[in-house]
Structure 1
């Protein structure tokens, strides 16, 4: 799919925005489908179709004006994606979307291809939950199988007495529930792998991720882990990309256990928050790589050019950041998403801070006095 072709994006959020910005420099045109007028992705696209993700008329309009269609987050309607597969070129397909939209299908699939995950059981009643808690052992995490983002739709369980209350609270979401063994990890890391139409696979450097209130706060690269462990993490991501026939990107989130082993926590079949550092610190950004992969171009180099820390800008950080924008050090790269409304804990943008070392980058973030010392991770 040569430059000049039209790429349709299901979803008009910040990931679609940054995907379009990267692709436009390569000469591609973009059409976005999103229910929100003037969406972040729509602002930088050639055209936005304002329609719900399950709107078949909107989907048909997207297909009619696109040479290739991708999606920017996995909660778009899988049924729409399946229809688009028949009417247009959707290299990612709908099957991977269907798998990653449901934690039960995702973990069952990973188990079936030999990828290590935390022990889990599917639960349909309080009695099953209590039995599973006895079998898995405390502590545990109860999660909804569908939905849930940035820590929503899940409860940590420390005692058997909490099982019933957690089940009752999560049952209101009207979704299947899963009970997982809580893993006492030492670090959370992620690796983003790209797989092209020809089967070429490349991985980006592992990111060490720090969460606050279950929302990604920092991505630290290089991750502060042994080289051998990073190599293992990349091999896991490559194996997943290969065995699941991924086209485009897949982000693989992992726990590093106290014993130094890796367990896969979640998958995201698209660009990922923890890959934003690539925009200013790698030869090729994750967004350009995704475009290359779905359009059949050779994949770009994933070489890290400099240590870097990415820090998310949430709603509560936006105004203090804007007040200090003229004071930002010259190495700091600002990325704002064009969202109309700023809300606490809503992702409004991010900063990439390249530096001589990740420790220096963390110190720079600290001196901005926008995030607390605890948030910065010092």
Structure 2
């Protein structure tokens, strides 16, 4: 794919959740048509897309329909089956590349990849049995975070150990589904930050200011921008993110999370080959949001500016918190975004708002 997309051409999106919805909205602003592949006919993205293919992400017929209908295809989440992604890439352009999916889908593969590029991570061991877990806990002083290697998100599929004895590993592997696991040593970090960056088809790279993330029960509650870190730490995180983009010959937006240690050093936590919750603030505080940036990149257009026009705090609206939207809309410097989900559940991301902080 050499020439950039023209208005009227079609962007295909695999996944119809809130990220797919916001990507579709950004694509529409640039004059593109949008087709979404998603098994849920009432998904958030379907409400704003031109059309939807209702089908599973690994449905060969549905994937063929998507490829035939699209001039370029992207995805909103990193658990798209790699086999399906490769099948799509054989028919039309797919960005980010499948190599990014492979690196990010498995936490063990991800850690090995990051270390191979010279980027530090928490120490880790692969766990396929209770015996492996006991050995890992002994190695890490009885403490660590045990995670499923695949599919976990928002704290799901995880268990934290502190000063555990080897016998406490009994039955844990089966309790977490008997699937491949990874034990990560605890990192004494002061805060978590994330860098949202993008690489275009021409190799150009840009990054937004590092954001500071606060979690509760494994779910991102709010993001503060700018992060409260030294300038040298922000540069190191940005440079590490750019290195990942280059290593993967990446096209599109990526999010990389880092732990910041007491001395300002960084340790990579994980990466997401897509737009990210911690980058939602960009739609309110930047001329070009992360969603438009991603569409620009995959469509072959020039990347947009990343200057922050104001300090801000982004907060997720979980469950019934979306009912506070009228009060938030009454505030002068608040930008509200609801996702159009039909069912509200405790802990479910129903929307977000960004409060601009003017000096």
* TM-score bracket for this pair, using the shorter chain length: over 0.9
Distance 1:193 1:222 in 2: 15
Report Cα offsets for 1:121-168 as digits up to 9, x if no partner. 112211121112112223201111001110001100011243335333
Deviation at residue 323 of structure 1 after TM alignment: 5.5
Partner of 2:339: 337
Partner of 2:80: 76
- Asked whether the equivalents of residues 74 and 97 of structure 1 are also in contact (C-alpha less than 8 Å), the reply is yes
Partner of 2:129: 125
Distance 2:70 2:158 in 1: 38
Provide closer, same or farther for how the CA distance between residues 189 and 39 of structure 1 changes in structure 2, counting only shifts above 3 A.
same
Partner of 1:324: 327
Q: In structure 2, the residue corresponding to 1:87 is in which secondary structure?
A: coil
- Asked whether the equivalents of residues 76 and 275 of structure 2 are also in contact (C-alpha less than 8 Å), the reply is yes
The one of the two structures with greater contact order (alpha-carbon pairs below 8 A, sep at least 6) is 2
Partner of 1:362: none
Partner of 1:151: 155
Distance 2:51 2:82 in 1: 23
Trace 1:131-280 onto structure 2 (pairs within 5 A). Answer: 131-158=135-162, 159-160=164-165, 161-170=167-176, 172=177, 174-280=178-284
- Match for residue 283 of structure 1 among 281, 287, 300: 287
Q: Which runs of 4+ in 1 moved over 4 A?
A: none
Q: In structure 2, the residue corresponding to 1:118 is in which secondary structure?
A: coil
Distance 1:141 1:165 in 2: 16
- Asked whether the equivalents of residues 196 and 299 of structure 1 are also in contact (C-alpha less than 8 Å), the reply is yes
Deviation at residue 169 of structure 1 after TM alignment: 2.0
Q: In structure 1, the residue corresponding to 2:202 is in which secondary structure?
A: coil
Distance 1:145 1:288 in 2: 31
Distance 2:293 2:68 in 1: 25
Task: Tell whether 2:15 aligns with 1:11.
Answer: yes
Deviation at residue 3 of structure 1 after TM alignment: 2.4
Distance 1:298 1:157 in 2: 47
- Asked whether the equivalents of residues 199 and 205 of structure 2 are also in contact (C-alpha less than 8 Å), the reply is yes
Q: Can you give the 5+ residue segments of structure 1 that lack an aligned partner in the other structure?
A: 358-378
- Asked whether the equivalents of residues 207 and 219 of structure 1 are also in contact (C-alpha less than 8 Å), the reply is yes
Q: In structure 2, the residue corresponding to 1:242 is in which secondary structure?
A: helix
More moved, 338-347 vs 91-100:
91-100
Report Cα offsets for 1:333-370 as digits up to 9, x if no partner. 1100011101000000000111126xxxxxxxxxxxxx
Deviation at residue 227 of structure 1 after TM alignment: 1.4
Deviation at residue 2 of structure 1 after TM alignment: 2.2
- Match for residue 25 of structure 1 among 29, 46, 63: 29
Q: Can you give the 5+ residue segments of structure 2 that lack an aligned partner in the other structure?
A: none
Report Cα offsets for 1:10-55 as digits up to 9, x if no partner. 0000001111111111101100000101211111000011111111
Partner of 1:59: 63
Distance 2:298 2:237 in 1: 24
Partner of 1:370: none
Partner of 1:346: 348
Distance 2:142 2:186 in 1: 7
Q: In structure 2, the residue corresponding to 1:324 is in which secondary structure?
A: helix
Provide closer, same or farther for how the CA distance between residues 91 and 325 of structure 1 changes in structure 2, counting only shifts above 3 A.
closer
- Asked whether the equivalents of residues 255 and 274 of structure 2 are also in contact (C-alpha less than 8 Å), the reply is yes
Q: In structure 1, the residue corresponding to 2:142 is in which secondary structure?
A: coil
- Asked whether the equivalents of residues 308 and 355 of structure 1 are also in contact (C-alpha less than 8 Å), the reply is yes
Distance 2:256 2:199 in 1: 13
- Asked whether the equivalents of residues 128 and 179 of structure 2 are also in contact (C-alpha less than 8 Å), the reply is no
- Asked whether the equivalents of residues 120 and 267 of structure 2 are also in contact (C-alpha less than 8 Å), the reply is yes
Matched residue count: 353
- Asked whether the equivalents of residues 328 and 334 of structure 2 are also in contact (C-alpha less than 8 Å), the reply is no
